Amino acid sequence: MKFIVSSTYLLKQLQVLGGVINNSNTLPILDNFLFDLKQNSLTVSASDLETTMSSVIEVDSDSEGLIALPAKLLLDTLKTFPEQPLTFVVEDNNTVEISSNHGKYALAYADGAEFPKAIELTEPSSTTILGDVLATAINKTIFAAGNDDLRPVMSGVFFQFSPESLTFVSTDAHKLVKYQREDISASEVAEFIMPKKPLNLLKGILAGSESEVKIEYNESNAKFTFDNSELICRLIDGKYPNYEAVIPKENPNVLSISRSQFLSSVKRVSIFSNKTTHQIRLKVAGAELNISAEDVDYSNKAEERLSCAYQGDDMQIGFNSRFLVEMLNNLSSDDVTLEMSLPNRAGILTPADGLDEGEKVTMLVMPVMLNG
Amino acid sequence: MNKTILHLDLDTFYVSVERLIQPALKHRPLLVGGTSDRGVVAACSYETRGFGVHSGMPMRMAKQLCPEAVVIRGNAGTYSKHSDVVTEIIKEQVPVFEKSSIDEFYADLTGMDRFFGSYKYATELRKKIIKETGLPISFGLSVNKVVSKVATNEAKPNNQIKIDFGYEKPFLAPLSIKKIPMVGDKTYQTLRNLGIRQVKTVQEMPKDVIHQVLGANGVLIWKRAQGIDNTPVVPFNERKSISTERTFDKDTIDVVKLKGILTAMTENLAYQLRRGEKLTACITVKIRYSDFNTYSKQKRIAYTSADHILIPKVMELFQSLYNKRMLVRLVGVRFSHLVSGNYQINLFEDTEETLNLYQAMDKVRQRFGDRAVLRASAMGAKTIGRMQNPFNGQPPVVLAHRKQ
């Protein structure tokens, strides 16, 4: 087995795949990339058992072979090369010899047959979506997903496909984001929960991408195919909480405000809030929003006043400022609307402008229970 | 620069207050503490000490030693009222003070020498307290908190003492090692087994030797024996945890009753958290069996102050802790890792009804006292409940070891 490939081209592909590999693996073979050579096309795969990703790379070769090469060693070496052709030759003594313009390097390889096989999806349903749209959907939702091992369903993003629209939801029980695209649809109704790790990979690869992504899915797995790559991952098993039921329907108190102003005020005031709870207090009366925070332990205190457009009763509500900052940071509109009903019910944050046709973002943030 | 630290201690505080209320009790042997079978002496008058009575002793034993003594149950509310009067006087007169317990105060008089003469000033302060409140008080004046405290104990009853700068070591040298704050029964025994009786011996020991025997605490004891202590006088002490525990008059194996009491405790402590706008992240359940073996178990949780989260967790801990099928003498609950903040509402688990209910119950408690509304399962526990906000920076108002 022998092939010749451009060093930077290979590095670019391997770096993407490297994101799949965990730092510590129970199975040593998972520390490797699988190289599957078939004449001029080399398929490289990486896996952590939950997620498997592979890319097809064009190389110059006329042989075939299947080997597993240590990922870290290979990446560290490739990073140091300026653009040049590299020749990979499999030697008899279980090593691969790489020849560059500078010299020769030998790496021990493992038998490619030991590498876990990628899962084949049986009877999948499918839909296609533009790469950039998917990346945006992930970007808008993934930050709100939880980290609680006890509630695995909330640690992923909920994909809800229907003939009318595609909906992406994430929540950690304190905040919730619902991202809806009414301009795209699937052939049939389907729901599944995607784990965070493959989504983060996809987000990185697909940002700004103009190519189509084909999503295939069944009960337990999902497969994303795009350009020369595919990603197969196991879905999170379980029932996603009924999020629609917790979105308050009637919100008579509506606050409209400049997003950047609101964000910078919240950020500034929250520096003075308690370092553990990050609690801030919003007071709205008339056309004035008062944001305050206090850290009793250190006698730190801050208060800011902002002018806003407000319709509704005067009210006072407490929030964890980190949630607000995350949400406001994630939006890109000039103005935002915060709809509220009562101090112990969710606040609904929506962008007032800057959305594409058919795009809808709803962010929910639960308050803290203030005394009296 | 050398500091001038004053330590004030009200002599036999509870006894003095009782005598103030009932002057007939003057010069008569008097015991304050629990009167039940399990009660212990919280305070005893000097007259009873001759019989071998000391505080912390089972009340029954004290009564046997001194049958003619008058026994009073005591009332924490009255004591804290009198303590507050004393606090007010001290607060007016000194620049920085710390109330370290219901009857003890530290004051930092550093720099006042130039104007008044610290000793003279302290003497006047003491006279003023005695005149205005009628309560006997002693003080010790020295360069730091530890030496002043030891000095006060030497001065008692109703007297005062000043340790001149540079004479801390010779002052401590002849005393028993028991007089060093921190040396309790256990440490005392360990040191006695080494042949150490006087502070002098500790002073002459190399630091490493005591470190080997008692570890880091030993080094602290060694420093204190040298008269070295740099702890500042802090006016406000943040509560690090809140807790309640209950010793039963009669050991019990009634799990329903135990759970009821734990529920009452948790409910009350959770209310204290909410009232003080605090959250807890660690709960501990303690259980003592009739053979005095004590076990406790703790658990980290997400920051909360909600009954419906805390009560099941406490029950869970109790279930895993109570496994001996034996009579139980004491149960207790503690919340620690406290931070300021309010309960973060959960999207899926909290309904509006529960939240409104909590707010309504807390409002009722605010107005009518913390036992005004209770869970039915907690009603059996009659005496669980605090009178005071634990987060006002004051030391806890408890009758020290009322029960054993």
**B103 in a known ligand binding site:** yes
Question: By the 8 A CB rule, do B226 and B166 touch?
Answer: no
Shortest Cα–Cα distance, A169 to chain B (Å): 14
Cβ contact (<8 Å) for A173 and B355? no
Which contiguous run of DSSP H or E holds residue A190? strand A190-195
The pLDDT, as a whole number, for residue A339 is: 95
Q: What is the pTM of this model?
A: 0.80
Q: Do B342 and A372 touch (CB under 8 A)?
A: no
Rounded Cα gap, residues B150 and B147, in angstroms: 5
What's the rounded Cα separation, in Å, for the pair B268 and B334?
Answer: 11
pLDDT tier at A372 (50, 70, 90 boundaries)? low
Statement: residue B383 has pLDDT above 70: no
**Mean pLDDT, range A261-287, rounded to an integer:** 94
Going by DSSP bridges, is the β-strand pair B70-72/B30-33 parallel, antiparallel, or unpaired? Answer: parallel
Answer yes or no: is pLDDT of B12 > 70: yes
Whether A213 has a pLDDT exceeding 90, the answer reads: yes
d(CA A58, CA A38): 10
Residue contact B343–A369, C-beta within 8 A: yes
Residues of chain B with CATH 3.30.1490.100: 241-378
Average pLDDT over residues A67-83: 93
Q: A94 — alpha (psi -120 to 50), left (phi > 0) or beta?
A: left
Nearest by CB: A364 against B347, B356, B358: B347
Region B38-54 average pLDDT: 86
Note the pLDDT of residue A231: 94
Whether residue B387 has pLDDT greater than 60 = no
Sequence-separated (6 or more) residues with CB below 8 Å from residue A109? A32, A67, A68, A69, A70, A90, A94, A95, A96
Q: Is any Cβ of chain B less than 8 angstroms from the Cβ of A370?
A: yes
Q: Which residue has the tokens 């709960």?
A: B283
Chain region(s) in chain B for CATH 3.30.70.270: 1-162
In chain B, CATH 1.10.150.20 sits at 170-225
How high is the mean pLDDT of chain B? 86
**CATH topology classification for B170-225:** DNA polymerase; domain 1 (1.10.150)
Residue ranges per structural domain of chain A: 2-114, 125-245, 247-365
* pLDDT tens sequence across A250-260: 999 999 999 99
Q: What are phi and psi of B297, to 5 degrees?
A: -140, 135
Span A125-245: which CATH code? 3.10.150.10
The fold adopted by the segment(s) A247-365 is DNA Polymerase III; Chain A, domain 2 (3.10.150)
Does A92 score more than 90 pLDDT?
Answer: no
- Compare B111 and B346 and report the one with higher pLDDT: B346
Residue A38 has pLDDT above 50, yes or no: yes
Residues 6+ away with beta carbon under 8 Å from B12: B43, B44, B45, B46, B136, B157
Amino acid symbol at B329: R
Q: List, for residues A280-325, the tens digit of each pLDDT value.
A: 999 999 889 999 999 887 889 999 999 999 999 999 999 999 999 9
Mean pLDDT of chain A: 92
Q: Per-residue pLDDT averaged across A106-130, rounded?
A: 88
Q: What is the CATH number of domain A2-114?
A: 3.10.150.10
What was the pLDDT predicted at A289? 95
Bridge-based pairing of strands A32-38 and A64-70 is antiparallel
pLDDT at position B402: 40
Q: Is 60 exceeded by the pLDDT of residue B401?
A: no
- In tens, the pLDDT along B55-112 reads 888 888 888 888 888 888 877 778 888 888 888 888 888 888 888 888 888 988 888 7
CA distance A335 to A348: 14
Report pLDDT digits (tens) over B183-214: 888 888 888 888 888 888 888 888 888 888 88
Of B20 and A263, the one with more pLDDT: A263
Question: For the domain B1-162, what is the CATH code?
Answer: 3.30.70.270
- The pLDDT, as a whole number, for residue B403 is 39
Coil, helix or strand at residue A144: helix
**Based on the number of CB atoms within 10 Å of its own CB, is B93 exposed (0-12), middle (13-18) or buried (19 or more)?**
middle
Question: What topology does CATH give the domain B241-378?
Answer: Dna Ligase; domain 1 (3.30.1490)
Residues in chain B with CB shorter than 8 Å from the CB of A274 are: 339-341
